[in-house]
Structure 1
Amino acid sequence: MITPQRSSARAALTIIYLWLATRVLLLLMVLDVVTIFESVNVDVGGVYQNWYGVMRTTGSLPVDDPTWQYPPGAALLMIAPSLLPFGYLSGFMAILVVCDALVTYTLARLPERAGLWVWLAGVPLLGPVVYARYDLVVAALAVLGLVRLRGSSTGGGLLLGVATGLKLWPALALIGVPRGRVARNAVLGAAAGAAVTTLGVLACLGRGADFLSAQRDRGVEVESVWALAFHFARWAGWPGEVAPNYGSMEMIGPFTAEAGRLSLVVTAGCLLWLVYWRRRARTWTDAAPADAALAAVLLFVVTSRVISPQYLVWLVGLAAVCAAARGSSQRPVVTLVLAATAVTMLEFPNLFVAVQESTVVGVAVLTLRNGLLVAAAVVSCVRLWRATTVSSRAPLAADQP
């Protein structure tokens, strides 16, 4: 007879074995020991390490490099690998592995285990790029912050603030914090976390505010939703091209500047909708902060001029917190996010050249991925609205017995 203790021990061992197997495979792929995918470690071993060299030798952030597009706090993650007793790439990998393990441990301790399985599967589902960018660290802090909000609004806000200092999107996670004292504490905690992260860097490195204007001339990145129209237009003879700009491959040619400006207008409109939703929301469950965070970040991703593959780890982390929250309205969205993550692994890095060349295969895969993200954003917002506003009197159809 299997006792509950033995069953629990087996479940824990299964989780450990799965985590180790998938993460070791990711590391081997990033280190080019297993060559299923094209190499993706150039950003860490080249770009990040070069930025660290600039900071060390000049005492300033590398704002003269057009590929630098991050808030000052990001410098901490460029410097941190050099402080470890490994090479730069190995040190970076060690930081990511620790953050990944911490999120796994945190989700495993929650009563609802669905979030754990979303994280376990979602991280390797993105392929080696997830361990070759620093976005996993930011996603980990956002996950820990949202989980911490349930017990301490100040503590959760503090973690979200630190994450915001590293990359701005975690600030969107505050949109779903219940009004009143909880919201005030969370915002104050977030402000403190962002201030400590940012001011600590600015005290040591100069030119920290330059990033605010450095990216204003960015265009339509080749993998974004807005780029799809230009991919199809190339088939009809559009005279533009794909060229490197601000650290990414962008569509360059007629109407791309207008599309970029339109994307900013649409993003601003989505932010206004989120503010309107917050004013109308009346039902604040434990799941509401995570549900709103996922909806907000999805809106940002699909309306942005840029969609980089590593953005999907943001969505995987938020989807995991939603899946771990009882009563979440976002369960169908979690499935769409995981599907989009899997398609992104197909698209980058191995089909990235095909996307740049607007081949049938490249555009088809990109259309599928972006279509899944747009569908996820729409479904997410509809279900969030129905679950939280005055008009949500009956349970959602998908949640009825």
Structure 2
Amino acid sequence: GRPTRAAWSSAALAGAGLAAAFALWMPGAFAFLAFQRDRGTEVESLGALVFHLARQFGWEGRVELRYGSLEFVGPRVELVSTLALGLAVLALGWLLLWRLRARSFAVRTPAEAAFTAVLLFTVTSRVISPQYVVWLVGLAAVCLVFRGTAMTLPAVLVLVAAGVTLLEFPIGFGHVVASDAWGVTLLVVRNGLLVAASLIAARRLWRSTVPGRPGAKTAPNVAEGQPSRVAR
């Protein structure tokens, strides 16, 4: 409605004003945006599975320490990295579409949306460091505070993925770098759990907030005086 449009317009104008001020009075203020531009595919990421498997069939690439992490360097790495960026853009587009279509909001919805967004950007990232999983565990815990949350299953999958991550790093990281059977298995399981959690979370967020066919279950609307209850 009008209040929402006014809020977004005000935020956009304020942000544009601050950005212009930084650009005028602080040269190089936005240089950080290009710092990661040439980063490749880190060995723990979803896209890295392509090269872990390709290594079994004679792929000629190698692993190098770049940007503070171990990345694949070699044929087709740039292509896979570009595809990962494309998936991240698609994830952002889906989130924007969800926000435009969503009509039913409960007190738990912001937490569920944040959890879903971080999941999507984690699995599409060129890097999946262990700390990313820690962030996901924290957001999952926030979602589980709310009674009736739709994120119970994704939260459980993330928790299991955190356990597998511990086996992958630091315990089995040498196997991951070597792309041996144990290392590849750990990555397939961990990344598979994160992908499953992302897809389930996105589907449940959409179904609980976006009007669908008659009789579809959506979250209670706070504006209508029916907030979700918070577990105490």
Verify same fold: TM over 0.5.
Answer: yes
Shift of 1:290: 0.7
For 1:348 and 1:180, the matched residues in 2 are separated by: 47
For 1:182 and 1:338, the matched residues in 2 are separated by: 37
Q: 1:363 to 1:179 in 2, by over 3 A?
A: farther
For 1:269 and 1:372, the matched residues in 2 are separated by: 20
Please say if 1:315 is aligned against 2:155: no
Q: Give the structure 1 partner of residue 205 of structure 2.
A: 384
What whole-Å deviation, never above 9, does each CA across 1:284-338 have from its counterpart, x for those lacking one? 0111111111111101000111111110111011111110122321111110110
Please say if 1:289 is aligned against 2:107: no
What whole-Å deviation, never above 9, does each CA across 1:153-176 have from its counterpart, x for those lacking one? xxxxxxxxxxxxxxxxxxxxxxxx
For 1:236 and 1:389, the matched residues in 2 are separated by: 45
For 1:310 and 1:374, the matched residues in 2 are separated by: 17
TM-score relative to the length of structure 1 = 0.48
Unaligned runs of 5+ in 2: 219-232
For 1:184 and 1:315, the matched residues in 2 are separated by: 29
For 1:179 and 1:327, the matched residues in 2 are separated by: 30
Q: Give the structure 2 partner of residue 184 of structure 1.
A: 7
Shift of 1:231: 0.2
Matching residue within 98, 111, 134 for 1:277: 98
Say what the alpha-carbon RMSD is for the aligned residues: 2.5
Shift of 1:394: 3.8
For 1:308 and 1:281, the matched residues in 2 are separated by: 32
Question: Which structure has more helix as a fraction of its residues?
Answer: 1
What whole-Å deviation, never above 9, does each CA across 1:61-102 have from its counterpart, x for those lacking one? xxxxxxxxxxxxxxxxxxxxxxxxxxxxxxxxxxxxxxxxxx
Q: 1:329 to 1:360 in 2, by over 3 A?
A: same
Which has the higher relative contact order, 1 or 2, with Cα contacts under 8 A spaced 6 or more apart? 2
For 1:373 and 1:367, the matched residues in 2 are separated by: 10
Please say if 1:238 is aligned against 2:59: yes
- Partner SS for 1:250: strand
Q: How does 1:351-362 map to 2 (within 5 A)?
A: 351-362=172-183
For 1:184 and 1:317, the matched residues in 2 are separated by: 28
Unaligned runs of 5+ in 1: 1-177, 397-401
TM-score relative to the length of structure 2 = 0.82
What whole-Å deviation, never above 9, does each CA across 1:103-158 have from its counterpart, x for those lacking one? xxxxxxxxxxxxxxxxxxxxxxxxxxxxxxxxxxxxxxxxxxxxxxxxxxxxxxxx
- Partner SS for 2:170: coil
Percent identical pairs in the alignment equals 49
Q: How does 1:7-18 map to 2 (within 5 A)?
A: none
Q: Give the structure 2 partner of residue 348 of structure 1.
A: 169
Q: 1:354 to 1:391 in 2, by over 3 A?
A: same
What whole-Å deviation, never above 9, does each CA across 1:345-377 have from its counterpart, x for those lacking one? 111112111101101101101110000000000
Q: 1:183 to 1:381 in 2, by over 3 A?
A: farther
Q: How does 1:2-401 map to 2 (within 5 A)?
A: 180=3, 184=7, 208-391=29-212, 393-395=215-217
Shift of 1:210: 2.6
Q: 1:182 to 1:324 in 2, by over 3 A?
A: farther
Q: 1:243 to 1:284 in 2, by over 3 A?
A: same
Matched pairs, number: 207
For 1:356 and 1:223, the matched residues in 2 are separated by: 9
For 1:386 and 1:179, the matched residues in 2 are separated by: 25
- Partner SS for 1:217: coil
Q: Give the structure 2 partner of residue 64 of structure 1.
A: none
Q: 1:236 to 1:280 in 2, by over 3 A?
A: same
